[in-house]
Structure 1
Amino acid sequence: MKSTSYYPVLITKQVAETRDFYIRHLDFEPAFESEWYVHLCSKADPKVNLAILEQGHPTIPESDMPMTGMILNFEVEDVDAVYDRALTQKWSVLKPLCDEAFGQRHFIARDPSGTLIDVIKPIPPTAEFAAQYSAAALPR
């Protein structure tokens, strides 16, 4: 599996406040911004990323883990191949492979410690979501 990006996703009820903290205090800027999800990039190094996701959002699968904390996102070149491998190797898949209007083809699994892992290939978003991306971050 060749990862093309890796970043943590903080799950919180305070999306806007958390976004503002990282922008104000740690020099991040938004690459994508909605009410329920914000993707931030460091102004000093755009390879340094952090995402913030609203607690309870429908993209988070039902789990016995608390709906706060962190998801590890791995962007990959071929999410279908990783998904096939996950099924063959009997990973604990909580959300099957699907396309999302906001610009992701992905699935979510759980590692043995209970941490959620979101394996993603960026895809073009719908027009509605494309307007929420910065020009540099828009998936093509």
Structure 2
Amino acid sequence: MIEPKSSFPVFTVKDLDAAKSFYAENFGFDVVFSGDWYIHLVSKSGVQIGFLLPDQPTQPPIFQRPYSGEGVIFSLEVDNADAALTVAKSKSLNIVLELRSEDWGQRHFCIQDPNGVYIDIVQSFEPTEEYRKNYVTE
């Protein structure tokens, strides 16, 4: 078995500076690596994310295409989705899904960053009885 010790997504994007500014200003991420072709950010709680420029000759071809904006959701869990939405609106962030509560135990809304990455801002709560049975508890 392979036993991971941490995880982080890496998005191949066209604008590293926009990514760096967006995540630092809106989520408090700090830059821990900043090169001409890659940046790595870490939040105070330890959430990590990386951004890579497309067409880097040091990278294999499978890592060279820019992110298309489809098929990936980067979720960030918060204590209070309502408060996070207030902040998002005050900063005029691009809200692409309005705040809603889901029966499976999430209150969330979604924004899109300057490179097209969808960020689902999620607050967990107790799911309805219908969904509670789907959760594995020991």
Between structures 1 and 2, the one with greater strand share? 1
Higher relative contact order (CA 8 A, sep 6+): 1
Bigger radius of gyration, 1 or 2?
2
